[in-house]
Amino acid sequence: MSKINNNLEYIVESAKNPEAFIKECEDRYNNKIEKIARNIADTEKVEIVMLAGPSSAGKTTTAKKLRQHLDCLGVNSYTVSLDDFYLDNCDAPRFPDGTPDFETVDALDIEFFEETMKKLIETGEADLPEFDFLAGKRKSNYNHIKITEKDVIIVEGLHALNPRITEHLPEERLLKIYINVSSRIYDEKKTILFNKRNMRFIRRMVRDFKFRGNSVEKSHEMWLTVCYGEDMYLFPFKDNADVTINTIHLYETCILKNTAIKLLSEIKQDSEFYKESQRLIRSLSLFPEIDSSKVPDNSLMREFIGFDE
């Protein structure tokens, strides 16, 4: 992949032709996934794709696009979400203060995941669970799937590269993919305007407000736990990946700008998050606005902005 021009000057200039700018960013991301799909289609050994990444990196869209590209190449595939293997909330591990720790790999029913994957690999069929996040427990109904020896299973989740998850899977049949926002954004003086986590936080903050009704204060609070989980249970294993995907879309600051500034402005001066919120507002204010209607319906950015604008 070509080098990313991840600086303010380039983004401001490119935003003058938003359609071309958006297409450039979308093509860069899609071409990477298409290349991976072609490699999978050309390799007889790969049957299980383990796709991991931190919060708001775009795992859901990436898995979906990978399936679409595989389908175009005549390869059948199925997605297995590790989130559906969460233990019921009442059984979740706890922090010392008694609050549930949903970030640890031990929040997953690892034994059940191993049993399910073993059935799927050995017999070609299995019952997949579905987790009800509103109720905080696994649904009573399961989804039965059947696969053939030529089909591909895509296992997607925060812990998909963790040896606790992969150790009982056939190593020779695995392709491990790590995705993340892997670029910072700089100004002309090489000052960092947004680090990698800032980019993901803004994505998540906007998404959680739009789709989950979370206040920006709550998003900040939850982000502390999310970052703890990533540092403990994801980043130590990212080098296990065979392939990496940078999911940054350089136009995204221009799309998220107005909603993000509005939300961040709600943080009061007495909040512990006020200083950081003001810093993000100052950085966001430097970017031009691009109307979200120009974003393709199948874009990764739709994970965060939806279709209601």
What are the pLDDT digits (tens) for 275-284?
A: 999 999 999 9
Three-state secondary structure call for residue 126? strand
Q: Decide if domain 8-305 falls under CATH 3.40.50.300.
A: yes
pLDDT band at 305 (very low <50, low <70, confident <90, very high): very high
Confidence check: pLDDT of 46 > 80? no
Instruction: Report the DSSP pairing between strands 174-180 and 243-246.
Output: parallel
User: With the C-alpha atoms ordered 283, 286, 291, 295, is the resulting torsion angle positive or negative?
Assistant: negative
Distance CA(131)–CA(129), nearest Å, equals 7
Confidence check: pLDDT of 53 > 90? yes
Q: What is the mean pLDDT of the chain?
A: 94
Confidence check: pLDDT of 73 > 90? yes
The arithmetic mean of pLDDT across residues 28-52, rounded, is 92
Confidence check: pLDDT of 290 > 50? yes
DSSP count for the chain of H helices, then E strands: 10, 11
Burial of 184 (0-12, 13-18, 19+ CB in 10 A): middle
Predicted pLDDT at 2 = 52
Predicted pLDDT at 133 = 85
pLDDT band at 45 (very low <50, low <70, confident <90, very high): confident
What are the pLDDT digits (tens) for 225-255?
A: 999 999 999 999 999 999 999 999 999 999 9
Confidence check: pLDDT of 309 > 50? no
Three-state secondary structure call for residue 172? helix
Distance CA(266)–CA(278), nearest Å, equals 10
Confidence check: pLDDT of 3 > 80? no
Predicted pLDDT at 253 = 97
